[in-house]
Amino acid sequence: MTRAAFTAALAAALALALAFLVLPVVAIFADTSPGRLVSSLDNPVAADALWLSVRTTLTALAVMVVVGTPAAYLLATRRFPGRALAVTALELPLVLPPAVAGIGLLAAFGPRGILGEALASAGVRLPLTTTAVVLALCFVASPFYVRQAQAAFAALDPSLVEASRTLGASEARTFARVAVPVCLPGLAAGTGLAFGRALGEFGATLMFAGSLQGVSQTLPLAIYASFATDFPAALAMSALLVVVSGALLAALRIGGARWAGPTGAVRLGDDARAARAQTAQPA
């Protein structure tokens, strides 16, 4: 096979992939003018759904970052029995169908679930609430963050950590003032991926949190509900999600390139700079 023919075959494959993946997105906008996009926010269903999506996604992200960052640091920096199992268990939701996630959340936190009695006696009823939405988002999206954070911490130059200790920083301080700032690009990328997944979550939310305007009807659920009754509104809300997700992806790409740049645009605190200076010195 000649080189030209091979190139042509590659180009054909790329063209096919591009056409298939781009066409539905373009089609959404073909029927939705920018004016229509803005006016869709006057629709209370869309406005409530957008606001709820933003609120629940940001809350879920905060939980993921606060719990996930130290957990990922432990997995990346220590060896202990059962570590591989823990890593696999944390990643499992990545490959679970959302319907399975929904059933699992009900079986765990529903009134008949494993923790149902304990929650009921504490006066807590989770299903069909905004909290249930946040839990569903955490379940499906946190593996994206933890995985990325773990990879970032694993790639951390061990001599940096060593230097920080030599300079007298405690392990906790090394984590907070050296590891996290140096790994910030990776952590940010993980946050972005988790944000994207959480914003698009549908199945687990519908099953565990139900669908109620202002309470549990996030943007994807509102799109589904409007599909049958108001197709143009569903299109406008879809366009809105494409814009938000596309902006996120672009920010990730641009931000990632900037962080990874050789000039080291990463602004580090004093501790991290000192550790870096220390490692740069000849032993």
Partner 1 sequence: MRRLAAAVALCAALASGCGGSSSAGGPDRIDVAAAASLSDPVTAYARQFGRDHDVEVRVRFGGSDELAAQIRQGVPADVFLSADAVLPAELARAGLLDRPEPFASNRLAIAADPAGPVRSLPDLARPGVVVALGSDGVPVGKYARHAIARLPQPQRVALLRNVKSSEPDVKGVLAKVVSGAADAGIVYVTDARAARAEVHTVALPRSLQPAIRYDAGVAVGASPAGLARRFVEGLRSGAGAHYLRAAGFGPVP
Contacts with partner 1, residue ranges (CB under 8 A): 1, 5-6, 9, 106, 110-113, 116, 125, 127-129, 206-208, 210-213, 215-217, 224-225, 227-229, 231
Q: What is the token pair recorded at 167?
A: 């300079």
Question: Least distance in Å: CB of 163 to partner 1?
Answer: 52
Q: Which is nearer to partner 1, 50 or 179 (CB)?
A: 50
Query: Closest approach of Cβ 270 to partner 1, in Å?
Result: 51
Closest C-alpha to 230, from 82, 20, 43: 43
Assess contact for 69 and 149: CB atoms under 8 A.
yes
Q: Which of 53, 98, 63 is nearest to 244 (CA)?
A: 53
**Nearest-approach distance from CB 131 to partner 1, in angstroms:** 12
Judged by beta carbon, residue 217 or residue 238, the one nearer partner 1 is 217
- Closest contact distance (angstroms) between CB of 151 and partner 1 is 32
Rounded Cα gap, residues 105 and 209, in angstroms: 10
- From the list 86, 281, 64, the residue with the least C-alpha distance to 192 is 64
Toward partner 1, which CB reaches closer, 76 or 221?
A: 221
* Residue whose CB is less far from partner 1, 9 or 66: 9
In 3D, which of 232, 205, 202, 206 has the Cα closest to residue 220?
202
Per-residue burial over 122-143, b = 16 or more CB atoms within 10 Å of its CB, e = otherwise? eeeebbebbbbbbbbbbbbbbb
Q: How far is the CB of 34 from partner 1 (least distance, A)?
A: 23
CA-wise closest residue to 131 among 203, 51, 45, 55 = 55
Nearer to partner 1 (CB atom), residue 180 or residue 223? 223
